[in-house]
Amino acid sequence: MGARTKARKRAIDLLYGADVREISLNSAIAVEAERAKSEPDRWASWAYAREIVEGIAEHGDEIDELIETHAQGWTINRMPVLDRAILRIGIWEIMFNDEIPDAVAISEAVEAAQEYSTEDSAGFVNGLLGRIAQLHV
């Protein structure tokens, strides 16, 4: 597993945990930063994970608006928590990280959905991110 893939997994964990515990992303980032300092093996993937989560915290309203607009029949609150986390990461990479090609962001998100979420999640994530990527061109 590549460093950025590991970082995305950590970002999913962080977003999921904050969502389930109903704490702010900034609080979750602070806790994880302390943990990363004390666990050198985790430090390598922390930098990009932090960049992702800080970007989502900064652009959260815009990201969630894109999800709501393009989810076709789903409100953001009806979505599985994991799907929300995966979509937020994918949208942040598409819209706000020029280093990651849109196709890579979508592929990574679909792979995460296949591995961590429901049977139908990968198709849902692929379709929604594909629509958003078309707007981003």
Q: What is the CATH number of the domain that holds 94?
A: 1.10.940.10
pLDDT of residue 1: 67
Axis-axis angle for helices 102-116, 121-136 (nearest 10): 160
Q: Tell me how far apart the alpha carbons of residues 42 and 21 are, in angstroms, rounded to a whole number.
A: 22
* pLDDT, position 37: 79
pLDDT digits (tens, 9 = 90+) for 32-47: 888 877 877 777 778 8
Q: Which residues of the chain have pLDDT under 50?
A: none
Give how many domains the chain has, as a whole number.
Answer: 1
Whole-model pTM above 0.75? yes
Its domain, for residue 128, covers 3-136
- Residue 122 has a CB neighbour count (10 Å cut-off) of 19
